[in-house]
Chains A and B, each alone.
Chain A
Amino acid sequence: MVARQGKLQATAQSGSRFAPGEAVRVAERPALGHCRTPWYLRGKTGVVASVQGIFRNPERLAYHQPGLPKRVLYKVRFEQAAIWDDYRGHAGDHLEADIYEHWLEPGKAR
């Protein structure tokens, strides 16, 4: 993990809870209605690749609300083997997804 940190974007958004390189776990909880956190990533642990900025909350926007407060959005990098038990590709393969801060909790580095 430490070796890979050099490749991650070094800048952090002010007010963001997690910094690039930090391990994060996607909350494993159900959601009613519109939600942009894919099911297949819930409960999975990855690493913050970069902080993407702050955006209106799509879970509110979908219901004609202003989507406030805005949420910090992270690009989270997962090892494919950490997502799928039977991943058939190579050990070095990754998947990245954009996850809002309220769906992330501190994760234990793998």
Chain B
Amino acid sequence: MIHHDHDDHDHDQHDHDHKHAHAPPHKDHDTGPVGAYELLEEAVRSLLIEKGVLTAQEIAAQVDLMDSRSPALGAKVVAKAWVDADFKKRLLADTRSALAEVGIDIGTLADYRTVENVPGTHNVVVCTLCSCYPKLLLGIPPAWYKSLAYRSRVVVDPRGVLEEFGVELPEGTEVRVHDSTADLRYLVLPMRPKATRGWSEADLATLVTRDCMIGTAVPVVAKGKRRAA
């Protein structure tokens, strides 16, 4: 190691870095015994690499791609739909091409649909069968979205669940639950808050949280952020 300026140090660390074969990367939280699924994943992964089906680089690139996706991507799309009525129309009619317009490729594994919250209708998304989620637009889903509690309760008692999330809906609003049971992923297009007249697209995007696009939240303008119209 170049930064060592004296050599009376224990050199174990140095030797370790250079002589050991690189073991498969382990996660930081991996302090307990390896679970059956982790072993299975490791076995399948190394077989795929050994048999030349995939390369380690391809796997790493895919992990990087997934990591690059976050709710910020979806928020950008929502903010654009708020300021550009034509884009919103295209997003609702053909989500895939509208996303492509703004440089977002949602791949070929599943198609996407956008459901719009309007006065009188609030949409919320779930996957009761597993955990289908618009990953290529919102990134990795939160743990609660995959939990049995959310998946089983939001279809039976959506209003109770929304209340727990702190969502208050105006009187007379219909709650519409979307169970993503097939090859379609759902994005909720929330309503633009009233107090945002004249806001830039970038400022608007900051209001659009992940949960707003699942339907378990609605965009809120913090009191201090309100501006004169």
Give chain A's interface residues, CB within 8 Å of chain B.
Answer: 36-38, 40, 52-53, 55, 58, 73, 80, 83-84, 87-90, 92-100
Contact = CB atoms under 8 A, between A and B. Distances in A.
Interface stretch (B38-46, B83-91, B150-158, B211-219): B150-158
Contacts of A95: 155, 176-179
14 contacts: A37-B181, A38-B129, A55-B183, A73-B182, A88-B157, A88-B159, A89-B157, A89-B159, A92-B172, A92-B174, A93-B158, A94-B177, A95-B177, A95-B179
A40 B172 CA distance: 26
B182 A55 contact: yes
Contacts of B177: 80, 93-96
Interface in B105-138: 111, 113, 128-129
A94 B174 contact: yes
A53 B174 contact: no
B193 interface: no
A99 B181 contact: yes
Contact of B182 (A84, A89, A98): A98
Given A89-B175, A93-B174, A98 B184 contact: yes
Nearest to B180: A98
Given A38-B129, A40-B128, A93 B176 contact: yes
A21 to B, nearest CB: 17
B160 interface: yes
Contacts of B175: 89-90, 93-94
Chain A residues touching B, majority SS: mixed
Nearest to B169: A90
B176 A58 contact: no
Interface of B: 111, 113, 128-129, 155-160, 172, 174-184
Chain B residues touching A, majority SS: mixed
A36 B129 contact: yes
Contacts of B156: 84, 87
A96 B178 contact: yes
Nearest to B120: A92
Contact of A53 (B111, B172, B176, B178): B111
Contacts of A52: 111, 113, 182, 184
A24 to B, nearest CB: 14
Contacts of B180: 98
Nearest to A91: B174
Given A53-B111, A88-B160, A93-B158, A36 B181 contact: yes
Contacts of A99: 181-182
A89 B111 contact: no
A96 B123 CA distance: 10
